[in-house]
């Protein structure tokens, strides 16, 4: 008789803020849902041709930030975000993407609702997208 042990795969990645651990002085790690949230954020903020030898990875979101703010552009941003996550983040199942223009801060508030595979809880990540001059 063999015993089977079920183990959920936990995701991990280095923290790109490169903050040192207080005791070991090593770079901190992001694990679990935090690691996946960071990956989603990086994909959204990556432009086409930013990654060497992989010019097809990225989204058109940065270009859309320079368009005039209207509901049509909000829809384009939602579609671009959903497309890049579905194409390049296999650990995530996107449920909903909200993008609303903030007239006071001249940028878009983006909220992404998703489920991480091997996890039963839904996750939400928020971003504020603005033009860089």
pLDDT mean values, one per 10 residues, the chain (133 residues): 56 81 86 89 93 91 93 96 96 95 95 90 94 79
Residue 90 confidence (pLDDT): 93
Residue 12 confidence (pLDDT): 82
* Whole-number CA gyration radius for the chain: 17
Do 84 and 43 touch, CB atoms closer than 8 A?
yes
Residue 111 confidence (pLDDT): 98
The two tokens of residue 31 are 């694990």
Residue 5 confidence (pLDDT): 47
Do 12 and 35 touch, CB atoms closer than 8 A?
yes
Residue 69, burial from CB neighbour count under 10 angstroms (0-12, 13-18, 19+): middle
Q: Which of 79, 83, 84 is nearest to 98 (CA)?
A: 79
Do 93 and 118 touch, CB atoms closer than 8 A?
no
pTM of the model: 0.84
Angle at the Cα of 51 (from 49 to 54), degrees rounded to 5?
A: 80
Residue 6 confidence (pLDDT): 47
For 12-130, give the CATH class: alpha beta
């Amino acid at each position: 008789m063999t015993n089977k042990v079920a183990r959920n795969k936990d995701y991990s990645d280095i923290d790109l803020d490169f903050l040192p651990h207080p005791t070991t002085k090593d770079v901190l790690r992001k694990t679990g849902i935090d690691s996946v949230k960071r990956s989603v954020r990086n994909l959204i903020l990556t432009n086409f041709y930013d990654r060497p030898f992989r010019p097809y990875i990225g989204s058109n979101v940065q270009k859309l930030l320079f368009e005039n703010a209207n509901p049509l552009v909000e829809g384009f941003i939602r579609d671009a975000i959903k497309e890049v996550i579905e194409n390049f983040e296999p650990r995530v199942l996107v449920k909903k993407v909200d993008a609303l223009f903030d007239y006071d801060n001249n940028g878009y508030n983006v909220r992404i609702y998703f489920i991480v595979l091997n996890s039963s809880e839904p996750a939400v990540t928020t971003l504020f997208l603005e033009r860089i001059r």
